[in-house]
Amino acid sequence: MTIELNFTINEKKITLKTEPNRRLLDILRQELNLTGTKEGCAIGECGACTVVMNGKAVNSCLVLAPQINGAEILTVEGLEKDQRLHFLQENFLKHGAVQCGFCTPGMLMSAYALLSKNPNPTEAEVKEAIAGNLCRCTGYKQIIDAILETEGDIK
Amino acid sequence: MKKTFNLVGKPVIRQDGYSKVTGKARFADDINYPDQLFGVMVRLPIAHARIKKIDFSEIENHPSVITICTAGDISGSNISGIIKQDQPVFCDQKIVTPGDVVAMLVGEDEELLRQLAGKVKYEIEPLPALTDPRKALDSDAVLIHPESKSNLIVHYPLRKGDIERGFSQSDHIVEQTYTTQLIEHGYIEPETVIAIPLAADRSVKIIGSIQNPFTARRIVAQALDLPLTRVRVEQAELGGSFGGKDDTMDILSARAAVAALKTGRPVKIRYRREESVLESYKRHPYILHYKVGFSREGKIKAMKIDILADGGAYASMSPFVTWRSVAQATGPYEVENVCTDVRAVYTNNPYTGAMRGFGSPQPIFAQESIMDEIANQLGKTPDEIRWINCLHSGSITATGQKLEKHDVNLIKVLDTAVQKTNFSRQWQACKDKNKSILPFIQKTHASQADKSLLLESEDLVAPDLLLRKGIGLALSYRGCSLGAEGIDAAAAYLSVQPDGSLYLVSGLAENGQGMRTTFSIIAAETLGLSVEDIHYLELDTGIVPDSGPTVASRSTLMGGGAVKIAAEIVRDRLQKFLCDFWKLNKQDVLCFEKNKVFSESDPQKTLRFSEVCQLAYRKGVCLAAIGWYPGPKVDWDESVGQGAAYFTYVYGCQVAEVTVNLGTGEVYVDRVVAVHDPGKVINLLGAQGQVYGGVTQGAGYGLWEEISSADGFIRELNFDQIFIPTSKDVGEIVPVFVEGDDQHGPWGAKSLGEPTLELTAAAIANAVRNAVGVRFFNLPLNLEEIVLKRKLKPGGLKRGSAV
Ligand code: FES
Ligand code: FES
């Protein structure tokens, strides 16, 4: 059985036929070749697969195909515009928030979702927003600093 | 000699940062080939058994199974191993741990293959499972690898002075046993590898999340019986490793390669988290018995140390990991009489190997806990007792090595940490304050030998009285690089182009730690360029010499040393060329700075670096060079564990401040001040990142992380059960660098990655002791350890754990 899905990814409209038991993560990585979004655990614990869906950070390994019909999705590939990095990305670089980089796309998307709702978060709010994103390399400090510096207008 | 640096020591943005923040970085599973197949493992649900028959009849004719690879497909050696050859690529005789693989199904539909893998039938003869390392050397213990005649992987004795005389000269003796747990590396990227057959020359190319491409190449070549040149290993972007993507990845590479040559198509293997945790090796659990004799003034007279490491089912890096333990087990103290025995044994547990820290976090936890116990017994503060005993320039270590020819900064890191935290005052204040709870603990459990903190129902305590503050420190020295453990040399290849831009690559591997950036800084500093002028190539075993493994925090010291030599070779050639060109004296010094080259004596003579390269290129000057950095000689007498174990050392001291909740057993780390002497800091941003990351991992090791097993089967297979620290779990971390001079390494830069992790659990344990007045002997210090002084574990396997 296949179903037809209509949704928007990184401001592009997409129509796609797929099986209803496909995960959003598979659709991104395998069907749309958007491999920036990563798989680390497949059970919603590591956050490497985080994307922004309808303004909220979600684990794309836990989202099934039918759920994305009509949705607006932003992935890490959609942050850079006209070859200019998003402030958030620049601050990640400036603060050394990236080591191996495997958690980075998910971190960026959790941070993006936080800042679009709450442009001036406290440190505690930042920690809360990325508490579902595991990073084994950085100890989080430089990631938190990068997000705090991006406060304000993120669009 | 340069006095000031343009780049070294400043914060520099990672070279690979752009690709990583945009999602463009290519990790192994992001790479696909059009006609690729997948390989899916077949395992038997048992920890120890003889294999009698594997029966594929139910699936071998299934249209989705293109082929099945087993030991029979290995044309070379089926038995691999980095040090000892004991690990089969595919098991055909015995299963020795549940992660073992007997076959690999190959086909297009990965999901379907996973289902079919469960349909393989088998006949086995179950053998008793040996899971307690303390029983491994019993005369009636079942042999894990019968061909090695014993379950002993390795035994290192160390004898210095006269241990009995040392104890007889002591006023006091303490004797204690500590244990540490099995933990998972917890890299967020699971293992992935692709093997691509190159039919034209019957060779194979491997791309994967591989920590040590040269080791992978050796294991693959050995399995396929091919010359090393027919196997090319390319490292994909590595999503964390921490020592963990070596043996497992080497064997996965061999399996993929076998299937690729058999089918003539690219074969990809990618592990899910559960499979990764099940099969990959982990950190060694240790049982450490220490007996320490000391004078009433606090001077240590004798140390007798017995360490048993659970190596699990395969030797892997156990011989090297435990070697570091034997060399460093006394801690950074002058001890005249030492008698140490370190043994690693086989069991049917998950196997253990290299992990960041590499045989140091375990002894440090024990030795630093004991130092505090000695201080307590003598009424001294922890810093005082270390002052009395710690190594300084000219001291003789436990291995009989004299510390010289570098800044022995142990006292300096200790002093700095103590001052920054007002340590003794705080320690005494917490101790006095917390005295009030001791009678209460004793009253509650007067009858119990082990004072547990469990409250009884009649003990009503105001919640804020349950929160206790404590401060503790831990101190270490660490031998740099491989030491007498292995052959130690590294290479770098640098090729300047006619326009002044340059390619750089070293034989060591980027593991995510920022090595490429560090090396680019070193090359740029030497040639007076900026980091952007340097294009760091992907590591490929075909383009640069084997430089040994990227382990032991050796990359900056060894690889960085090689990069500097390569850059200096090219600089010297350009210097010579320009002296001729400008008709200067041979002695004239040219400066390479800010993308320019100029003569110090005659500033008129200035050219852009790119112009110099263009001119030199036209005149036929060779602008490419290989830098080779051989480690200085070390020597070692294995029978008594004496010799110059490492050619140089780094020093560190961490102070942890904690709050312990006596009601729940929760330990919160409020602050860690981490003082390290890495020699010289090359990239400040990267160095700080190493400290934040290492301390956080160390806190996880100290407080939460543990992989437990039942009959060899791991209970915790995914991040719902493996508690690695999140953004909310650890308080402030303050990195402090004390730089020291050293003749080795680029401008004296040595190691940092591992020292940052090795101290944290010990410092936390001492802080907890300060907070509650009770010593805990078993890591991790999780809720039940604090409240009950024992570990709660489910009886069997948890539900839903089958893979
Ligand atoms: S892969 Fe989705 S949360 Fe880990
Ligand atoms: S940077 Fe490696 S997991 Fe976060």
**Among all residues of chain A, which has the CA nearest to that of B722?**
A45
CA atoms within 13 A on the CB side of B1: 5
On the question of pLDDT at B455 being above 80, the answer is no
> Which ligand has the nearest atom to the CA of A132?
1
Residue B457: what pLDDT? 55
Would you call B188 and A38 a contact, using CB atoms and an 8 Å cutoff? yes
Q: How many helices (H) and strands (E) does chain B have?
A: 19, 32
**Among all residues of chain B, which has the CA nearest to that of A36?**
B23
On the question of pLDDT at B799 being above 60, the answer is no
- Between A53-57, B375-379, B423-427, B582-586, the lowest mean confidence (pLDDT) is in B582-586
* Closest among B699, B764, B759 to B729, alpha carbons compared: B699
Best of A136, A145, A150 to disrupt the B interface by mutation (most B CBs within 10 Å)?
A136
> Which amino acid does the sequence have at B369?
S
Can you tell me the distance from the alpha carbon of B661 to that of B669, in angstroms, rounded to the nearest whole number?
12
- Whole-model pTM: value is 0.95
Instruction: Identify all chain B residues contacting A101, using CB atoms and an 8 Å cutoff.
Output: 16, 19-21, 25, 237, 239, 512
Closest by Cβ to A141, choosing from B242, B724, B733: B733
On the question of pLDDT at B460 being above 90, the answer is no
The tens digit of pLDDT for each residue in B635-671 reads 889 899 999 999 899 999 999 999 999 889 999 999 9
Task: Map tokens 């809360």 to a residue.
Answer: A128
**Among all residues of chain A, which has the CA nearest to that of B684?**
A96
Two structure tokens written together for A102: 């495997």
In Å, how far is B692's CA from the nearest CA of chain A?
Answer: 5
Can you tell me the distance from the alpha carbon of A37 to that of A44, in angstroms, rounded to the nearest whole number?
14
Say how many Å lie between the CA of residue B803 and the centre of ligand 2: 26
Counting one residue from A and one from B, how many pairs have CB atoms under 8 Å apart? 169
Can you tell me the distance from the alpha carbon of B569 to that of B574, in angstroms, rounded to the nearest whole number?
9
> Which amino acid does the sequence have at A142?
Q
Helix H or strand E encompassing B125: strand B121-126
Residue range B318-341: mean pLDDT, rounded? 96
Residue range B744-749: mean pLDDT, rounded? 86
Cβ–Cβ under 8 Å, residues B197 and B260: yes
Residue B795: what pLDDT? 65
Count of Cβ atoms closer than 10 Å to residue A54 Cβ:
11
Task: Give the residue, out of A93, A137, A141, A144, with the most ligand 2 atoms within 8 A of its beta carbon, to mutate for a pocket test.
Answer: A137
Torsion of CA B373, B374, B378, B384, to 10 degrees: -100
Residue A101 near ligand 2, beta carbon < 6 Å:
yes
Task: Give the residue, out of A26, A29, A37, A46, with the most ligand 1 atoms within 8 A of its beta carbon, to mutate for a pocket test.
Answer: A46
Can you tell me the distance from the alpha carbon of A86 to that of A91, in angstroms, rounded to the nearest whole number?
9
Pairing of strands A50-53, A3-9: unpaired
Would you call B14 and A93 a contact, using CB atoms and an 8 Å cutoff? yes
Question: Which protein residue's CA is at the shortest distance from atom 3 of ligand 2?
Answer: A135
DSSP of B647-692: S-EEEEEEEEEEEEETTT--EEEEEEEEEEE-SS-SBHHHHHHHHH
DSSP of B457-512: TT----GGGGEEEEEEEEEEEEE-SSGGGS--EEEEEEEE-TTS-EEEEESS---S
Residue B513: what pLDDT? 75
Look at chain A and count its residues: 155
* Residue A13 confidence class, pLDDT cut points 50, 70, 90: very high
* Residue B466 confidence class, pLDDT cut points 50, 70, 90: confident
Residue range A41-53: mean pLDDT, rounded? 98
Would you call B727 and A37 a contact, using CB atoms and an 8 Å cutoff? no
* Residue B441 confidence class, pLDDT cut points 50, 70, 90: low
Q: What is the mean pLDDT of chain A?
A: 96
Residue B167: what pLDDT? 98
Cβ–Cβ under 8 Å, residues B747 and B680: yes
% residues pLDDT > 70 (chain B): 95
* Residue B456 confidence class, pLDDT cut points 50, 70, 90: low
Question: Omega before B780 cis (within 30°)?
Answer: yes
Residue A99 near ligand 2, beta carbon < 6 Å:
yes
Residue range B700-712: mean pLDDT, rounded? 94
Would you call B22 and A85 a contact, using CB atoms and an 8 Å cutoff? yes
Q: Write the ipTM.
A: 0.98
On the question of pLDDT at B439 being above 50, the answer is yes
Would you call A102 and B23 a contact, using CB atoms and an 8 Å cutoff? no
On the question of pLDDT at B184 being above 80, the answer is yes
Can you tell me the distance from the alpha carbon of A62 to that of A22, in angstroms, rounded to the nearest whole number?
10
Say how many Å lie between the CA of residue B395 and the centre of ligand 2: 40
Closest by Cβ to A41, choosing from B14, B688, B718: B718
Residue A151: what pLDDT? 77
Cβ–Cβ under 8 Å, residues B476 and B760: no
Cβ–Cβ under 8 Å, residues B187 and B244: yes
Instruction: Identify all chain A residues contacting B726, using CB atoms and an 8 Å cutoff.
Output: 131-132, 134, 140
Give B97's DSSP letter: S
Task: Map tokens 């009424």 to a residue.
Answer: B379
Q: What is the mean pLDDT of chain B?
A: 92
Would you call A137 and B512 a contact, using CB atoms and an 8 Å cutoff? yes
Phi, psi of B459 (to 5 degrees): -85, 90
| Alpha-carbon B526 to chain mean position | 30
| CA angle (B91 as vertex; B85, B97 as ends), nearest 5 | 85
Residue B589 near ligand 2, beta carbon < 6 Å:
no
Can you tell me the distance from the alpha carbon of B539 to that of B208, in angstroms, rounded to the nearest whole number?
11
Cβ–Cβ under 8 Å, residues A36 and B23: yes
Cβ–Cβ under 8 Å, residues B787 and B667: no
Strand partners, B124: B51
Would you call A139 and B237 a contact, using CB atoms and an 8 Å cutoff? no
Q: Please identify, by atom number, the ligand 1 atom nearest to the C-alpha of residue A134.
A: 4
Can you tell me the distance from the alpha carbon of B475 to that of B738, in angstroms, rounded to the nearest whole number?
14
Cβ–Cβ under 8 Å, residues B2 and B8: no
Cβ–Cβ under 8 Å, residues B85 and B18: no
Would you call A92 and B21 a contact, using CB atoms and an 8 Å cutoff? yes
Domains located in chain B, CATH noted: 17-24+489-630 (3.30.365.10), 31-127+191-270 (3.90.1170.50), 414-480+648-788 (3.30.365.10)
Can you tell me the distance from the alpha carbon of B753 to that of B356, in angstroms, rounded to the nearest whole number?
8
On the question of pLDDT at B339 being above 90, the answer is yes
Can you tell me the distance from the alpha carbon of B224 to that of B206, in angstroms, rounded to the nearest whole number?
13
Count of Cβ atoms closer than 10 Å to residue B339 Cβ:
21
Closest by Cβ to A100, choosing from B238, B718, B733: B238
Can you tell me the distance from the alpha carbon of B114 to that of B107, in angstroms, rounded to the nearest whole number?
10
On the question of pLDDT at B553 being above 80, the answer is no
Question: Which protein residue's CA is at the shortest distance from atom 2 of ligand 2?
Answer: A100
Residue A132 near ligand 1, beta carbon < 6 Å:
no
Give B288's DSSP letter: E
- Between A104-108, B673-677, B727-731, B786-790, the lowest mean confidence (pLDDT) is in B786-790
On the question of pLDDT at B803 being above 60, the answer is no
Residue range B158-168: mean pLDDT, rounded? 98
Two structure tokens written together for B752: 């940092």
Can you tell me the distance from the alpha carbon of B107 to that of B62, in angstroms, rounded to the nearest whole number?
10
Cβ–Cβ under 8 Å, residues B12 and B521: yes
**Could you tell me which residue, B447 or B261, shows the higher pLDDT?**
B261
Residue range B186-207: mean pLDDT, rounded? 94
Residue B2: what pLDDT? 46
Cβ–Cβ under 8 Å, residues B188 and A102: yes
* Residue B749 confidence class, pLDDT cut points 50, 70, 90: confident
Domains located in chain A, CATH noted: 3-77 (3.10.20.30), 87-148 (1.10.150.120)
CB burial readout B31-69, b (16+ within 10 A) else e: beeeebbbbbbbbbebbbbebeebebeebeeeebbbbbb
Q: How many helices (H) and strands (E) does chain A have?
A: 5, 5
> Which amino acid does the sequence have at B628?
W
Residue B433: what pLDDT? 86
Say how many Å lie between the CA of residue B359 and the centre of ligand 2: 24
Two structure tokens written together for B762: 């010990």
In Å, how far is B598's CA from the nearest CA of chain A?
Answer: 32
- Between B517-526, B728-737, B788-797, the lowest mean confidence (pLDDT) is in B788-797
Which residues have CB under 8 Å from B325's CB, separation 6+? B286, B307, B309, B342, B359, B360, B362, B363
Helix axes B560-581, B515-527, angle to 10 degrees: 20
Query: What sign for the dihedral angle of Cα B693, B698, B704, B709?
Result: positive
Q: Please identify, by atom number, the ligand 1 atom nearest to the C-alpha of residue A132.
A: 3
On the question of pLDDT at B713 being above 80, the answer is yes
Instruction: Identify all chain B residues contacting A138, using CB atoms and an 8 Å cutoff.
Output: 689, 692-693, 696
Would you call B689 and A138 a contact, using CB atoms and an 8 Å cutoff? yes
